[in-house]
Amino acid sequence: MTPEPSSSSRPVTLEDVARVAGVSRATVSRVINGEATVDPRLRKLVDEAIARTRYVPNRAARSLVTRRTDSVALVVSEREQREVTGPFVGRIFSDPYFGRVVGGLLEVARPRGVQMVLLLADDEPSRTQLLGYLQQGHVDGVVLISSHADDPLPGLLARTALPAVLAGRPATPLSLTSVDADQRAGARLAAEHLAATGRRRVAAIAGPQDMTAARERLAGFLAAAKERGLAEVVWTEGDFTQASGTSGMQRLLGLRPDLDAVFVASDLMALGAVAALHRQGRRVPDDVAVVGFDDSSSALACDPPLTTVRQPVEEMAAEMARLLLRQIDTGERPLPSVVFHPELVIRQSG
């Protein structure tokens, strides 16, 4: 490499970077604009020169050339007027799942210099405003977290030209790329484990049954429990909050006081369920075994630590980011959807 520019008050230019890297200005421009055809050796030289010269790309000028904003939207869509504990925004930031998704997305987006914009939609006016914002070119693509089966937003998004990836499989077939875990298979693991450890009077706290993932978890658990010859499973519905896990466990104890195991469709609800069992003088797992779902921070915060079904949320979110950036780079969409396989993590709760 040639020597880097001497320190001065003027901004570093593409020509300065090219001179330090020993390449042409056009090569530097191609690297900065993210063109995939640049020779890896030359890309490395340019990246090193950018670091040495502390070159800061002119994002506005770059956008005129690439027609990109170097930002993507993380859209969280919630059911209109759902009966839940606490306001929409508060639930998002208190739910371990959301933080894990953001972490996985950033792991891939940040090294590419791509920023994330958080957008929320929970009624028709906010959806209309959201679609207008997205179609005006403010972002290059969308990762959509849609929580309920009758949400119109995935279908509306599929009809736009925007690159998009859906967190979780859609309730009906759509021309959208999605990333999910096999929810039904994960719940089957829970039922098989409880049966194998000798539990016979099993109950369940399901998630909201207007949500595809929650329905899949309950269906998988009930089917596997029946196959293993367990007594008819008594179940109740929660809303994926800790408080609903507590109230759900109280209902189940009233319906079936002799239960010896409970499957809870999220770790956060399981945290509430275990607290309710303790208050009723039930020992976990001696009297009642508890199996959760997610393997989130709530599983380790539980006393005793929670046996749970792990869905690799961070890895799933990273794959969402990779699929979205590939669509943005190539224009190819939708890409094939991806399904991850869950696994059972056995701890002290059952």
Nearest to 308 by CA among 102, 146, 96: 96
| Cβ count near 347 (within 10 Å) | 17
pLDDT exceeds 60 at position 10: yes
What is the rounded CA–CA span in Å between residue 28 and residue 20? 11
Nearest to 203 by CA among 250, 161, 158: 250
The answer to which of 50-54, 223-227, 344-348 has the lowest mean pLDDT is: 50-54
pLDDT exceeds 60 at position 88: no
pTM, whole model, 2 decimals? 0.77
What is the rounded CA–CA span in Å between residue 42 and residue 241? 51
Nearest to 84 by CA among 69, 75, 72, 94: 94
Q: What integer pLDDT is reported at residue 3 of this predicted model?
A: 52
State the pLDDT confidence band at 79, using cuts at 50, 70 and 90.
low
What is the rounded CA–CA span in Å between residue 201 and residue 178? 36
State the pLDDT confidence band at 19, using cuts at 50, 70 and 90.
very high
pLDDT exceeds 60 at position 59: no
State the pLDDT confidence band at 8, using cuts at 50, 70 and 90.
low
What is the rounded CA–CA span in Å between residue 325 and residue 342? 25
Sign, CA torsion 297/180/349/271: positive
Question: 129 near 97, Cβ under 8 Å?
Answer: no
CB burial of 116-128 (b: ≥16 within 10 Å; e: otherwise) equals beebebbeeebbe
Task: Please name the residue ranges forming H helices in the chain.
Answer: 14-21, 25-32, 40-53, 59-66, 88-94, 96-109, 124-135, 153-158, 183-196, 212-227, 242-255, 267-279, 297-301, 313-330
From residue 220, give the alpha-carbon distance in Å to each of 55, 56, 215, 217: 54, 52, 9, 5
